[in-house]
């Protein structure tokens, strides 16, 4: 019913946070609660994502209508779980993210941890608005769970000393920490201006408390502030490659998030790799079979003819094994347009790889997305980069570091994010006393290097 005549698509919502803080449990709970709401057929499973339709969100948020009045005009929410940070960083899109919104999950008892900080850094870099789910409130001493109840109702039923303990943990472990990293934040029911204050929603993914508020706040904010981003055009698809995977019997396939348009079997598509652009045709599109049992771990995929944004889909196409995770993927409507898009993709990927003769560190990362996030983090810290690329640490990277050493020995290091070190590189590094830092948390990798750097210059 928009005046432009265009529909709105589902906002793409990414769930992230530190290991074990409850991302997957939260998503399971949202899906599971929807099932208990007797509308399982309405939840559609995608590749690496699931869609919760507006009708289900409205039903779950029903008890809150008086507190947070809202009417949904978005068709639903597409949730993406991110087991690893590579996946999240790969949701990249020139100058931003494919994710429209994020839920940062923080264990209210354990507070901020390395990957919490890292998540916030990347959300900042990519300018993704977010809310915080302060999870595991059921573990607060004395908390009496009221399963699947809104937070405000369950909270009212707790004794005062328990309410005070919740408040203390919420403040010390979450809100104060958000302030420390530059965000104004408050409990969601005290937020007056959601554009300036990050809303924190106390929840338990285990008992379902607070899930109603989480969904209501999320859906309300997304449709209020993101309408322009969510206008859906029934044109050629645009998306990003999250991950490359082996599809038994079909070779390499790409798991893709489509954020605009329609992708069809047979479409001419353009994506990119380290050796150059890839132009090919979609041989098959695979989607999970409709949900029968909610807890089926390995859901079988089946071929479909087309998918509409927003969607997560597995794309089978000859030559796609030459693409790189984090690369854009576009549908071209002619050979001519394919060439233009290929050039655009090539430039975009080349812009993320750095080759200079100047002093600076050497950076190797596993995907385009993590490379971009790492390079950006280094730039913010004014750490110069001589060379940055995707792939394992090879001999030539050590040679780059040796060349850098001749200019400034403090930058003669290799920062390896989530990649292997090839044996010959290891030997070469030893010979030239080049230090290699390795980690799978960007934040930690930089900390390790900075600590070493401070020790060296003393």
* Residues of this chain that bind ligand GTP (CB under 6 A): 17, 19-25, 83, 135-136, 138-139, 204-206
CB of 118 to ligand GTP, least distance (A): 12
Comparing CB distances to ligand GTP, the nearer of 214 and 393 is 214
The item of Mg ion, ligand GTP, none sharing an interface with residue 25, based on CB under 5 to 8 Å by kind, is ligand GTP
- Give 14 or 320: the residue with its C-beta nearer to ligand GTP: 14
Judged by CB, which is closer to ligand GTP: 105, or 414?
Answer: 105
204 binds, among ligand GTP, Mg ion, none (CB under 5 to 8 A by kind): ligand GTP
| Contact window for Mg ion (CB under 5 A) among 16-24, 151-159, 265-273, 280-288 | 16-24
User: By CB under 5 A, which span of 23-31, 63-71, 147-155, 370-378 interacts with Mg ion?
Assistant: 23-31
Quick check: helix, strand or coil at residue 57? helix
- Write the DSSP symbol of residue 52: E
Closest to Mg ion by CB, 17 vs 272, is: 17
Interacting residues of 248 by C-beta distance below 8 A, sequence separation 6+:
none
HEC assignment per residue over 280-326:
EECCEEEEECCCCCCCCCCCCEEEECEEECCEEEEEECCCHHHCCCC
| Residue 210 contact among Mg ion, ligand GTP, none, beta carbon within 5 to 8 Å by kind | none
Residue found by looking up tokens 């390995």 in the block = 298
Choose from ligand GTP, Mg ion, none: what does 438 bind? Cβ within 5-8 Å by kind. Answer: none
**Min separation Cβ 299 and ligand GTP, Å:** 18
Q: For the CB of residue 138, give the shortest distance to ligand GTP in the complex, in Å.
A: 5
Which residue is closest to Mg ion by CB?
A: 24
The residues that bridge with 363 in the sheet, in sequence order, are: 388, 415
Choose the stretch contacting Mg ion; rule: CB under 5 A; options: 18-26, 152-160, 289-297, 366-374: 18-26
Q: Is 215 helix (H, G, I), strand (E, B) or coil?
A: helix
In this structure, are residues 269 and 253 in contact, taking their beta carbons and an 8 Å threshold? no
Give the pair of three-digit tokens for residue 347.
Answer: 């430039």
Q: Between 139 and 420, whose beta carbon lies closer to ligand GTP? A: 139
Question: Of 7, 20, 24, 353, which one interacts with Mg ion (CB under 5 A)?
Answer: 24
The option from ligand GTP, Mg ion, none interacting with 136 (CB < 5 to 8 A, set by class) reads ligand GTP
Q: 31 contacts which partner out of Mg ion, ligand GTP, none, CB within 5 to 8 A by kind?
A: none
Asked whether 52 and 31 are in contact (CB, 8 A), the reply is: yes
- Residue 31 C-beta: closest distance to ligand GTP, Å: 13
The residue (of 40 and 84) whose beta carbon lies closer to ligand GTP is: 84
Question: Closest distance between ligand GTP and the C-beta of residue 200, in Å?
Answer: 15
324: Cβ contacts below 8 Å, ≥ 6 apart: 241, 244, 272, 273, 274, 349, 367, 368, 390
Cα 309 from Cα 230, distance rounded (Å): 10
Cβ closest to ligand GTP, residue 24 vs residue 197: 24
**Beta strands across the sheet bearing 101-107:** 44-46, 49-53, 76-81, 12-17, 101-107, 130-135, 198-202, 185-187
Alpha-carbon distance 401 to 259, whole Å? Answer: 39
Task: Tell me if 65 sits within 8 A of 247, measured CB to CB.
Answer: no
Angle between helix 442-457 and helix 114-125 axes, rounded to 10 deg: 100
CB of 21 to Mg ion, least distance (A): 9
Contacts with Mg ion by CB under 5 A: the residue count is 2
Partner whose footprint covers residue 139, from Mg ion, ligand GTP, none (CB < 5 to 8 Å by kind): ligand GTP
Nearer of residues 9 and 18 to ligand GTP, judged by Cβ: 18
Other residues' Cβ atoms within 10 Å of the Cβ of residue 107: 23
Nearer to ligand GTP, 18 or 187 (CB): 18
Residue 23 phi, psi (nearest 5): -60, -50
Q: Are 141 and 161 in contact (CB under 8 A)?
A: no
Contact positions toward Mg ion, by CB under 5 A?
A: 23-24
């Amino acid at each position: 019913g928009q005046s432009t005549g265009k529909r709105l698509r589902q906002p793409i919502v990414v769930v992230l946070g530190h290991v074990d803080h409850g991302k997957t449990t939260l998503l399971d709970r949202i899906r599971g609660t929807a099932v208990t709401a007797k509308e399982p057929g309405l939840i559609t499973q995608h590749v690496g994502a699931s869609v919760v339709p507006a009708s289900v969100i409205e039903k779950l948020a029903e008890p809150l209508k008086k507190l947070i009045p809202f009417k949904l005009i978005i068709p639903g929410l597409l949730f993406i779980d991110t087991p690893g940070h590579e996946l999240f960083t790969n949701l990249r899109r020139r100058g931003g993210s494919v994710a429209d919104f994020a839920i940062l999950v923080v264990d209210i008892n354990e507070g901020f941890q390395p990957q919490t900080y890292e998540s916030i850094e990347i959300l900042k870099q990519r300018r993704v608005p977010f809310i915080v789910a302060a999870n595991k409130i059921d573990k607060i001493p004395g908390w009496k769970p009221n399963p699947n109840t809104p937070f405000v109702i369950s909270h009212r039923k707790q004794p005062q000393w328990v309410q005070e303990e919740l408040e203390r943990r919420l403040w010390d472990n979450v809100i104060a920490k958000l302030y420390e990293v530059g965000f104004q934040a408050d409990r969601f029911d005290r937020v007056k201006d959601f554009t300036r204050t990050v809303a924190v929603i106390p929840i338990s993914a285990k008992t379902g408390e607070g899930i109603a508020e989480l969904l209501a706040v999320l859906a309300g904010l997304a449709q209020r502030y993101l309408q322009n981003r969510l206008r859906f055009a029934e044109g050629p698809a645009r998306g990003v490659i999250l991950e490359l995977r082996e599809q038994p019997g079909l070779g390499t396939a790409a798991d893709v998030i489509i954020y605009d348009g329609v992708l069809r079997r047979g479409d001419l598509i353009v994506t990119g790799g380290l050796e150059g652009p890839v132009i090919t045709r979609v041989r098959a599109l695979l989607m999970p079979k409709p949900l029968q049992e909610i807890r089926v771990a390995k859901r079988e995929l089946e071929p479909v003819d087309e998918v509409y944004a927003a969607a997560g889909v597995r794309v089978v196409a000859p030559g796609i094994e030459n693409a790189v995770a984090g690369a854009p993927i576009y549908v071209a409507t002619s050979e001519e347009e394919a060439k233009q898009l290929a050039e655009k993709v090539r430039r975009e990927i080349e812009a993320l790889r750095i080759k200079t003769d100047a002093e600076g560190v050497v950076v190797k990362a596993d995907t385009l997305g993590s490379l971009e996030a790492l390079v950006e983090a280094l730039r913010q810290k004014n750490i110069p980069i001589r060379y940055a690329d995707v792939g394992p640490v090879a001999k030539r990277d050590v040679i780059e570091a040796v060349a850098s050493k001749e200019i400034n020995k403090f930058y003669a290091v290799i920062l390896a994010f989530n990649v292997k070190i090839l044996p010959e590189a290891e030997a070469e590094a030893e010979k030239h006393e080049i230090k290699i830092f390795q980690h799978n948390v960007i934040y930690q990798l930089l900390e390790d290097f900075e600590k070493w750097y401070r020790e060296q210059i003393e």
